Chain A
Amino acid sequence: MSTQTVDTSRPGTDPGRTAREDLGPVRAVPFTRLLRVELRKQADTRAGRWFLVLIAVVTVAILVTLLATGDGSRTFQDYFEGTVTPLQIFLPVLAIMAATSEWSQRTAMSTFTLEPRRGRVVAAKVLASLVLGATLLVVAAALAALTQLAAVLVRGAEADWTVTGWVVGGAVIALTVFLLQGSAFGLALLNTPAAIVAFFALPTALSVVSALIESWRDTMSWIDINQTTVPFFTGSAPTGEQWAQFAVSMAVWVVLPMAIGVWRVLHREVK
């Protein structure tokens, strides 16, 4: 079998050998490594990279518009709030794609043969989306600060750098929830278009229906995630009832689909 014939099929330097070398002792795959790999996988594809570029472009466009319009009285907080909206819309899609692309692109085959404990991969994936979200929020805040600086220097705006705790806290909580919801929908449906459509259309459809049917309105204020997350964008602390409503809607839109999704990924046959 081990003929030393020189091969002509544009082979490697040593076609009969498989490049044996000492790669060191075999150690278990630590979770931090899975996390790092999952983070990398969100940005190493063409789709992922362009998506990040898109988020950056939209954010900058919003900031420039805010800077150039109005009477120049905007504060750092106004700019910061402006950057949260694109993140709120786009970050969940990133989380959805991270969860679904393993199946639509069939990379799950390679992923799960390198780490058969699928639960760890799912956890790393969800956490990676949160880490990426946090990073982008910090970048957005930095861009908002630069814009404020420009406003002060160029437009002679007042150097108002005050930010209420609840503006930041609310943004962090809301973004976390939407990211988790994106991951949950992605894992539950394992299909990119279906998950994106469901993510945006289902809660909105529910809002529309509840607006039409009077008797549902009370119930919906507990279930409709579009309503229950509103207090987090007001800049002040939510009331006790608002927290309770938020928790109930979380159970419906995040916990339930996440449970379904994790179960599916753990049990699904990888083809």
Chain B
Amino acid sequence: MITTTNLVRRYGDFTAVDDVTFSARPGRVTGFLGPNGAGKSTTMRVLTGLTPATSGTAHVLDRPFAELTNPGRHVGVLLDASAQHSGRTGREVLTVSALTMGLDTRRVDRMLDVVGLSAKEARRRVGNYSLGMRQRLGIANALLGEPQVLVLDEPANGLDPAGIRWMRDLLGGFADEGGTVLLSSHLLNEIERIADDIVVIGHGRIVAQGTTEDLLRPSGTLVRSADDAALAWALGEEGLEHAAADGGGVRVQAEPVQVGAVAASRGIALVELRPADNRGLEEMFLTLTADTAREESAA
């Protein structure tokens, strides 16, 4: 369980995290979605005690991270896969963590196996690893202490599509066993494939949160007919809210079956009848991303 309450982090005049309140529940994979620079990483650093909060609270397993006993045994953290000593071997990175947590080093081999790093790869220095290999090593490091909570910043970065699928299965399995997962991404389609719940952040503020299903649920119906004008009139007569859709057709706030029934009763021939895509989340996200992109090109 992860909970932040009115979390604020300021850097001078700049507010990186602005009144952020959300929770990530056990048994769920919570996706933290936002464009680059939205405040995801800062929030995650505050959560793990690496950055002090300006105000508000961030709790992991009902207490501040710094108060956890042997935190590696409770919370697996991967904030930056590249933040490892380039002169250390992959195996040594895990060994150092295992020794700190007081684990048998056999656990290291087990984790290398879980993330699919071969013995040969584990003997290479991290400086020679690809980003994908570093992510795998970082995930192994996070899972090492058998935590109940995972905090992962952009873990799918650098993974190929098969790797992303592997991660989805891995994190899904972790959540099914009752674990809490918070992972961030700046890619909507990545999050929508992995997460059960989504928290959207932009300019340091939370702009939407809910289950992936709710946020992406189709809303209304898109219908096209031989005579859209007549159909629109008929829909209005039945008291169904509707509007002309971009690219032709009518968007109706009703289930397809109701719309079909109206058309049938008036004898209007349908060309297309389907649930409308939910563009809400995607559009909101595109707006956020466009803002960021503008700021970046202006800078």
Contacts and interface: CB of A to CB of B under 8 A. Distances in A.
A264 interface: no
Interface string B252-292: 00000000000000000000000000000000000000000
B87 interface: yes
Interface of B: 29, 45, 48-52, 65-66, 68-75, 77, 79-80, 82-88, 92-93, 96-97, 99-104, 107, 110-111, 113-116, 125, 141, 143, 145-146, 160, 162-163, 165-166, 168-170, 172-177, 179, 196
B198 to A, nearest CB: 15
Contacts, number: 164
Nearest to B172: A1
- Majority SS at the chain A contact face: loop
Interface of A: 1-3, 5, 7-21, 23, 26-29, 33-34, 36-37, 40-41, 44-48, 101, 105-107, 109-117, 267, 269-271
A13 B86 contact: no
Nearest to A113: B77
Given A1-B175, A17-B170, 12 more contacts: A3-B172, A15-B116, A17-B173, A18-B143, A23-B103, A23-B146, A33-B100, A41-B96, A44-B96, A105-B83, A105-B85, A107-B84
Q: Which of B51, B66, B114: most chain A Cβ within 10 A?
A: B114
23 contacts: A1-B173, A7-B165, A8-B162, A11-B116, A16-B172, A17-B173, A18-B170, A20-B146, A23-B104, A26-B73, A28-B69, A29-B100, A37-B99, A37-B100, A45-B85, A45-B88, A105-B86, A106-B82, A110-B84, A114-B71, A116-B68, A269-B50, A270-B51
A11 B166 contact: yes
Given A45-B87, A112-B49, A15 B170 contact: yes
Contact of A46 (B72, B125, B160, B175): B125
Contacts of B45: 269-271
A217 to B, nearest CB: 45
B102 A116 contact: no
Nearest to B84: A107
